[in-house]
Amino acid sequence: MSKKPIRPSTLVGIKRYAKTLKASLGLKHAAALDAAAVAGGFQNFMHARRQLGGDPRTTPSHMAYITTYWRVRETGESGQETLSVRLATPLDELVKPAHLRSARHFRGFRFAAADHLTRNLNTASQSDARRLVCAAARTLAFMEAAGLRPSAGHSRAYPRGNVANAVPGKDHYSEWYDPATKVYVFVDEPYSGAKQGISQDRLAWARKHGWEIVRTSWAGMYYPEGDCALYLAADKQKGYSLAAIVAALDSLPPPVVEANWNGESGPVVPPFFSPAARAKAEAPRPTRQAQSKRSPRATVPYRMVLQRTERRRPAKRMPIEAHVEVGERLKSVIAQCRDRRGVCNRLKRVRCDLDDWVQCEYNRAELSDQKFFDLYYHEDSGAYTDRTRGQALTNPHVVDLEHAKQLLAQHYPDCAPLRAMVKNIDAAIQSLGNQAA
C-alpha cells in the first residue's frame, strides 16, 4: 500500500477524505472536513470551498431580482419596488422554497421566476416596500457569504437542543444550518450592540456550554442602519470554527439599506418580468408526446361494505400463495417497526388495500375465513424471517419490501392503483434509509 500523503484537490475529494478521517480517527464531521482541507493545502474547509468553488465576492455572475408592491390607503398612491442583486450562485440554487418560510426577511416572498422573488401583499408605503426588499437582499448576501441556510430545526441551534440554554440578551435571533458540515449556527442581532464588544455574561455563557460566540463588523440583516450588531454562536465541541464565516462577512460591502436605495421604482402595471420569466415565456413549447393507451380493462371498480365511494383495483387477481408471501413480509416489517411511524403508517395503508383486493378476488369457497384473516393481519414480532436475505442487503426490512414489490408487479397489471401502492412501499423504504443514516 502506498505511503504517499493524500492531498485532495477538489471539494468532492476533500469530502471523501473527510469521511475516511472521521471513521479512522473518530473526528466530528466538521473537524474531519477541516483536517481534510488542511491536507489539501487549505486553511480549513470554508477556505477550500471558497477557493475551489469560486469566491462570491470576486466572481458574481448571476442576477437576482426582488420585488415588492405598495399602496397608500389614504391617498390611493401605489407602485412597485424592484432591486437587482448580483450573486455567484443562481437564485433558485441558493434559495429553496423552504427557506422562504424559515428566514425572517423572506417571509411573504415567493418565486415569480427562477431569478425573481416577489411579494404579492401590498405594504403600506413606498418606504416600507423598499425596506422589505433591502432586508431580503441582505439575507441573500449573508447566505452566500456565510454558506449558511435558514433552518426550521430551531432547538438544534441551542446548547444541548434546549431553548432554555439560549445566549443571554438574545434579540432578533434566527437559526441557521451549515449544509457542508451539518452544524447549526445561532445568529443574534440585538440592539445596543454595535458600539460594544461581547458582554461578560455572554462570554461566561459560551464557556459554560463549550460554545463559541463572535461578533462581526458587518452590520447584519435585521437593522444595520440602526444600533444593531450581528453575533454568531456555534458548538465549539463539534470542531466547528466561526472564523472563516466572520472573515467572509466582514469582507462584504456595507449592507444595502433604504437610505442608499438604487433599485427601480414604477407603477403596479405592468408588473416586472425578470429575464428568466421572459425567456420561459418566449421558449417554444415542447410538443406533447402521444401517451401510450392503457387497456381500460387494467382496473375494475369495487366498493366495500360501509364504503360510500367507489374505488378501483387491478382487474387481474394475484394468486393466494403470492398474497400469503406478500402478507408475511409486510407483517414482519410492521411488527418490528411499530415505533417508526414513517414506515408503519404507509405499510398499514398498503395492507389495508390488499386486504380489500383479496376479498374481491376470492370467494369463501376459494379462500377460507381463517386463512383470509391471517393473510395481512395477526402479525407478531416473530413474524416471517428469511435467514438468507441479510446476505444481499444489510437492512432485512428493505429486502422484504423490495420482494413484496416484485411479487405485486409480477402478478398485477400496471395500473394507477398498483402504482399508488408501490409509491407507499417506496416511501417506507426511503424512511427506513433515512432513519438508518
Cβ distance 279 to 100 under 8 Å?
A: no
**Shortest CA distance to 177 belongs to which of 99, 290, 88?**
99
**Residue 177: what are its φ and ψ, rounded to 5°?**
-135, 135
Confidence band (pLDDT; 50, 70, 90) for 245? very high
Terminus-to-terminus CA distance in the chain, angstroms?
30
pLDDT at 238: 84
Q: What confidence tens digit (pLDDT) does each residue in 130-150 have?
A: 999 999 999 999 999 999 999
Among 34-38, 108-112, 291-295, 415-419, whose mean pLDDT is lowest? 291-295
Residue 388 in grid coordinates? 438468507
Q: Tens of pLDDT along 348-368?
A: 999 999 999 999 999 988 988
Cα-trace Rg, the chain:
29
CB 239 within 8 A of CB 30: yes
| Number of Cβ within a 10 Å radius of residue 147 | 22
Backbone angles phi, psi at 80, to 5 degrees: -135, 145
Q: Are 170 and 231 within 8 A, CB to CB?
A: no
Preceding omega of 150 cis (within 30 degrees of 0): no
Query: How do 116-123 and 62-71 pair as beta strands?
Result: parallel
Cell, residue 222: 435585521
Calculate the CA dihedral of residues 47, 51, 56, 58 and round it to 10 degrees.
120
Select the more confidently predicted residue: 45 or 116: 116
Q: Are 214 and 266 in contact (CB under 8 A)?
A: no
Q: Tell me the CA distances in angstroms from 105 to 163, 173, 174, 178, 385, one per residue in order.
A: 22, 12, 11, 19, 53
Whether the pLDDT of residue 73 is over 50: the answer is: yes
Least confident residue range of 70-74, 95-99, 161-165, 257-261: 161-165
Given this model, what pLDDT does residue 404 score?
94
Q: How many angstroms separate the CA atoms of 330 and 317, rounded?
A: 19
The C-alpha cell at 238 is: 463539534
Which residues are 68's β-sheet partners? 81, 119
CA atoms within 13 A on the CB side of 76: 0
From 72-76, 286-290, 369-373, 390-394, the region with the lowest mean pLDDT:
390-394
State how far the Cα of 432 lies from the Cα of 343, in Å rounded to an integer: 7
Quick one: average pLDDT of 365-372? 87
Mean pLDDT for 210-223 is: 92
